[in-house]
Homo-oligomer: A and B are copies of this chain.
Amino acid sequence: MLNETNAQCPVARALEVLGDRWALMILRDAFDGLRRFSEFQKNLGLAKNILASRLKLLVESGLLQLQPASDGSAYKEYVLTEKGRSVFPLVIALRQWGERFLFEAGEARSALLEQATGQAIAPLQVRTEDGRVLRPEDCQRRLVRHG
């Protein structure tokens, strides 16, 4: 997918790992606390061979890590690494965008922002380091390229 220009683009590189159809769904479930192969499979409803290959990719990419099962059983668990946990803002961005634009009025949107903490999440905003909110128009032609 990457040509020479885009090989230097961090967005393009990130999409090489995360742009897959299942990667972010698996990570979403991992953030939800899922760890076991069968849990992912049940919740995602995808074929086992596909799940196996995606999990392997995520492990190889360093987003997930295989660990002994926490319940003492003989099996392994897939747990997020620091690199994987760092995808959190991305998943939240997806979630907020989906909530805002992809639900009809009738679909109980109000409940969607509630968390286990009982505390709503504030909308993600892009800010400069001095605290100003940065809008897309403000950084045209510099989002991608280096020079």
**What are 9 inter-chain pairs, A to B, with CB distance below 8 A?**
A6-B25, A15-B94, A31-B143, A85-B136, A90-B93, A111-B146, A115-B134, A121-B126, A121-B129
A contact set with B: CB distance below 8 Å: 1, 3, 5-6, 9-15, 17-19, 21, 24-25, 28-29, 31-33, 43-45, 62, 80, 83, 85-103, 108, 111-112, 114-117, 119-122, 124-132, 134-136, 138-146
Interchain CB contact (< 8 A) of A128 among B62, B90, B100, B117: B117
Work out how many copies of this chain go into the complex. Answer: 2
Interchain CB contact (< 8 A) of A101 among B83, B89, B91, B102: B83
Query: Do A32 and B144 touch (CB < 8 A)?
Result: yes
Query: Do A11 and B28 touch (CB < 8 A)?
Result: yes
Query: Do A140 and B33 touch (CB < 8 A)?
Result: yes
Query: Do A127 and B122 touch (CB < 8 A)?
Result: yes
CA distance A29 to B15 in the complex (A): 14
Rounded to whole Å, the gap between the CB of A77 and the closest CB of chain B is 14
Query: Do B32 and A143 touch (CB < 8 A)?
Result: yes
Residues of B within 8 A of A141 (CB): 32-33, 116
